[in-house]
Every structure is written in C-alpha cells, then in structure tokens.
Structure 1
Amino acid sequence: MDYPSNENPLKTRWYHYIAAFFAGVFLVNIIPHYIHGITGKPFPTPFADPPGKGLSSSVLNVLWATINFLISFSIFYLGKISKRSKWIWIAIFAGGIVMSFYLAHYFGSQTTL
C-alpha cells in the first residue's frame, strides 16, 4: 500500500499509549493466575462468586491467564504496538507497574495473618 509522503503509517498517536498501558496491565495480570493455576491452588478470578473475591479452580485460573495473554498479545502484536517508539515501551512498563501495585494492594488487603 502506498502512503502519501507526508503520512507515516506507524505514526504514534495518543491512543497507542493507552493501548500500550493496558497491554502492560494484562501482561502482569497473567502472572498470579498462571502460577496459581499450574500449582493447583484456587485463586480469585472474575468467574468466581462473588467475582474477584471468591476462589476459582486452578483450571479457571489458567483459562483467565490465557485470556489475559491473548488480550495483551492482540494489543501488542496485532495492533503493531511493538513497532513504535521507545515511549510505547515506557507506557507498557507503566501499565505493568500500576497493575502490580494494584494487585499487591487488592490481594494484600484480603489476607489475614
């Protein structure tokens, strides 16, 4: 496909940064669900009752990790996010860090010693 000389098909727009941020969010959310799933431990998922608080089986956790992977893969690869500027990588990292702190706070407040 030929583009006019003044139009770059990979020009990074504001919404690419938002998409990259959410790619980082979904990438980090894979980790706890996948680890609990493959070790056979129940862990909360959106499929639990109540959602996000009740425990889901290890199979559902692997399924939820897979869904998170497919979402992040779709944003990152199919959306051609990986072919953009270094600021995109910073947005992915920021999304991952924000989700990490959110998960630490959310699941940390549910545990009792």
Structure 2
Amino acid sequence: MIWVVLFLAGALLCNAIPHLAAGLRGEPFPTPFARPRGIGHSSPTINFLWGTANLAAGVALLLWRLPMIDRNLGIVVAALGWLAIGLYLAQHFGAVRAGRSD
C-alpha cells in the first residue's frame, strides 16, 4: 500500500504543474470541474486552486510515507507515478488542443 501512495504522490505532484502554471499565467485550462470534464476550460482561479490542492496532497503523501521505507526506492516509485500521469496527460491534452478527444 505504501507503494501505491507514493505512486499517487508522484502523479499529484506532476499534475500540479500545468494547473499552477495556467493559473499563474491567467490562462484557462481544462480541469475535472470543466464541462465537458477534462476537456472544457476552467478559469485561472480554479486552475490555481486545483494545482495548489494537487501540490499540497502530493507533498503530504510524500511526507507521510517516504520516511517509512527506503528513500531511494520510494523516490523511484513516486517518479514512476510522475511519468505515468505526465505521459497520459501529454497525450490527452495534446488531443484536446488538436480539437479532438480520444
């Protein structure tokens, strides 16, 4: 279960970046709260808040579980979560920006 938590922490930390960046630049960007979900755009404020929530949750999960195990392996598992969600979101938002949704 610790590995799942660390994987999720990495995914949350990666997901925080585009939402924080869009929010801080004042640009709309898709969030789970938009219509259609994950495709429509949410306001910069919603993106900033969603990015902050992802960042806080990811850091909290890392701080909660990382001290309980081998740090190097824990960081590798978190990095795998980061890579998994990053690759998925790159494909998803690439398709959204191209005007199609898979």
**Scaled by the length of structure 1, what TM-score is found?**
0.81
Between Structure 1 and Structure 2, whose CA radius of gyration is higher? Answer: 1
Q: 1:58 aligned to 2:55?
A: no
Structure 1 residue ranges without an equivalent (≥5): 1-14
The runs of at least 4 consecutive aligned structure 1 residues that moved more than 4 Å come to none
% of aligned pairs identical?
A: 34
Q: Decide which of 45, 66, 70 is 1:81's aligned counterpart.
A: 66
Q: Mean Cα displacement is larger for which, 18-27 or 42-51?
A: 42-51
Give the RMSD, CA atoms, in angstroms. Answer: 1.4
**Count of residues in correspondence between the two structures:** 98
Q: Which runs of 5+ in 2 are unaligned?
A: none
TM-score (normalizing by structure 2): 0.89
Question: Matches of 1:49 and 1:30 in 2, distance apart?
Answer: 20
1:49 to 26, 29, 35: 35
Q: Distance in 2 between matches of 1:24 and 1:48?
A: 24
